[in-house]
A and B are shown apart, each in its own frame.
Chain A
Amino acid sequence: MIDRRAFVASLSAVALSAGCPTLAAAQSDPSDIRAVLKTLIGDATPVEGKISLDLPEIAENGNTIPYAVRVDSPMSDAQYVKAVHLLAPANPHPQIASFFFTPMSGRASVASRMRLAQTQEVMAIAEISDGTFFMVKRPVKVTVGGCGG
């Protein structure tokens, strides 16, 4: 029986030398993510803070990855979260979901499940009623892609 480490090390060597053409083809053009961001948040520059994103560090299968996103906000009529956008820049299509809150929401907190085609940094962006934007990025290692395999 091949030693586990030798086995995966040999795979690693093959992968690096093969250049992963299939995965490269699946990845969206970097300009796609900029175009998507423009439609979602215009020319705004999100800053760090207020928004947090729970994600596992490694996903056994990219088909289903649980996540929870929270924004620190009083959710009052004067100061509330309008929207939270989830993006996967290395997916064939970068958008995961967008969530829209109202004054009835009480809390800007959502849990759901995403699909990731490959290892990447997932982005979550919050739009606040006062026109400010906040962003958080979390890396996820994906063992088997969830988009077409």
Chain B
Amino acid sequence: MSWRGPGPPHAPPAQYRHCLRCCQDGARIFARIVCGIGLILSLAFTSPRFGTAGAQERDDRIERALETYRSMMKADPWSNPGMLDVDRGEALWRTPGGPKNVSLEGCDFGLGPGKVDGAFAGLPRYFADADRVMDVETRALWCMEKLQGFERTKLITRPHPGAGTPVKDLGAIATYVASRSNGRAFAAPLSHPRERETLALGESLFFRRSGPMDFACSTCHADSGKRIRLQPLPFFAKPDEARKIVGQWPAYRVSTSHVMTMQHRIYDCLWQMRLPEIELGSEASVALISYLVKQAEGGEISIPGMKR
């Protein structure tokens, strides 16, 4: 992955803010979003319910109404469609598969072969057999390759689902393993020198600006109260906020009707930033996850989350 050096300190150019969410249908989606927000705001400005209040109060009322929607969606964790992928991940875990026709029950996520309860809370961590630091997806990838005989290149080529299709097998397995740490707090170890190196790399990548728009993760995620359109952006550089958010990933995303894993989330962020594709299981991906998990240390794990 090639990085350009950081440019002069300045905010991303204003004309690019509207481009943040783009794809082949970019113009059409943008028109819909503009119209949608235009409708809401015109209703908000003209409706007697909102019209008499000040503009800030209107913003707050809209945010509270959105919070109602979000809490209705989260009210019943059992009915989170991401649970279907947790179940699927568990079935994949137990069922012999791959050319070697072996289950993943011998996979060691750091607490011993087959021990999944609490393992996710201790990731990323250094694994001697692989001689590297790994997050849950990277470790699942390792086990699928080494234990089951799957080809690594096949698993990391287009590993993330498109909108409307469910998370792939690797992601489902990772979601299952992660869910077995629900209720626990993030406590990734930093005892091994490679763990400390990975964290340091992750932190520097988080703040390093590069690419054609000179974005870093910190451009969007290192201040309070930032938004992209109606989506609030978590301030990851602040542990208080990181603790509330990181433990919800992998999450079911309503807008794409599938579970998005953390590796996928980072991949998508970098795509939005117009940076090169980040490979699943790469050192850079594990480093960024390591930084986020460190920021979220002590925060509760509650998977799958439920997101826009």
A residues with a Cβ closer than 8 A to B are 1-2, 4-5, 8-9, 11-16, 18, 20-23, 56-61, 63-66, 118-119, 141-145, 149
| Residue on B nearest A23 in the bound complex, by CB | B35
A61: contacting residue among B35, B41, B75, B308, CB under 8 A:
B308
B32: contacting residue among A12, A58, A149, CB under 8 A:
A149
* 0 or 1 for each of B168-182: is its CB under 8 Å from A? (1 = yes): 000000000000000
Most buried by A among B35, B39, B40, B55: B35
B residues with a Cβ closer than 8 A to A are 11, 14, 17, 25, 28-29, 31-43, 45, 55-56, 59, 62, 65-66, 68-70, 72-73, 75, 227, 230, 254-255, 257, 308
Q: What distance in Å separates the Cβ of B118 from its nearest Cβ neighbour in chain A?
A: 31
Taking A20-B38, A60-B66, A66-B73 as known contacts, 11 extra A-B pairs with beta carbons closer than 8 A to each other, sorted by chain A number, are A12-B38, A13-B38, A16-B38, A18-B31, A20-B31, A23-B32, A23-B36, A58-B68, A64-B257, A141-B39, A145-B36
Residue numbers in A under 8 Å from B75 (CB-CB): 66
Q: Is the CB of B36 within 8 A of A118?
A: yes
B28: contacting residue among A14, A57, A149, CB under 8 A:
A149
A26 to B14, CA, bound (A): 31
Q: What distance in Å separates the Cβ of A124 from its nearest Cβ neighbour in chain B?
A: 17
B308: contacting residue among A60, A66, A142, CB under 8 A:
A60
A81 to B11, CA, bound (A): 60
Q: What distance in Å separates the Cβ of A139 from its nearest Cβ neighbour in chain B?
A: 9
Q: Is the CB of A4 within 8 A of B59?
A: yes
Residue numbers in A under 8 Å from B257 (CB-CB): 63-64
Q: Is the CB of B72 within 8 A of A144?
A: no
A141: contacting residue among B43, B55, B70, CB under 8 A:
B43
A145 to B45, CA, bound (A): 21
Q: Is the CB of A118 within 8 A of B25?
A: no
Q: List 6 A-B contacts (CB under 8 A).
A: A2-B14, A5-B56, A60-B69, A60-B70, A61-B254, A144-B32
| Residue on B nearest A66 in the bound complex, by CB | B72
Residue numbers in A under 8 Å from B69 (CB-CB): 56-60, 65
A61 to B14, CA, bound (A): 25
Q: What distance in Å separates the Cβ of B248 from its nearest Cβ neighbour in chain A?
A: 15
A99 to B26, CA, bound (A): 37
A15: contacting residue among B35, B56, B66, CB under 8 A:
B35
| Residue on A nearest B56 in the bound complex, by CB | A5
Q: What distance in Å separates the Cβ of B249 from its nearest Cβ neighbour in chain A?
A: 18
Residue numbers in B under 8 Å from A63 (CB-CB): 254-255, 257
| Residue on B nearest A147 in the bound complex, by CB | B32
Most buried by A among B34, B36, B254, B255: B36
A115 to B11, CA, bound (A): 37
Q: Which 9 A-B pairs have the closest CB atoms?
A: A15-B38, A20-B35, A56-B69, A12-B41, A64-B254, A58-B65, A12-B38, A15-B35, A57-B65
Residue numbers in A under 8 Å from B56 (CB-CB): 5
Q: Is the CB of A15 within 8 A of B39?
A: yes
Residue numbers in B under 8 Å from A23 (CB-CB): 32, 35-36
Residue numbers in B under 8 Å from A59 (CB-CB): 69
Q: What distance in Å separates the Cβ of B26 from its nearest Cβ neighbour in chain A?
A: 11
Residue numbers in A under 8 Å from B230 (CB-CB): 60, 143
| Residue on B nearest A9 in the bound complex, by CB | B41
Q: What distance in Å separates the Cβ of A136 from its nearest Cβ neighbour in chain B?
A: 18
Q: What distance in Å separates the Cβ of B10 from its nearest Cβ neighbour in chain A?
A: 12
A143: contacting residue among B29, B37, B55, B227, CB under 8 A:
B37
Residue numbers in B under 8 Å from A12 (CB-CB): 37-38, 41-42, 45
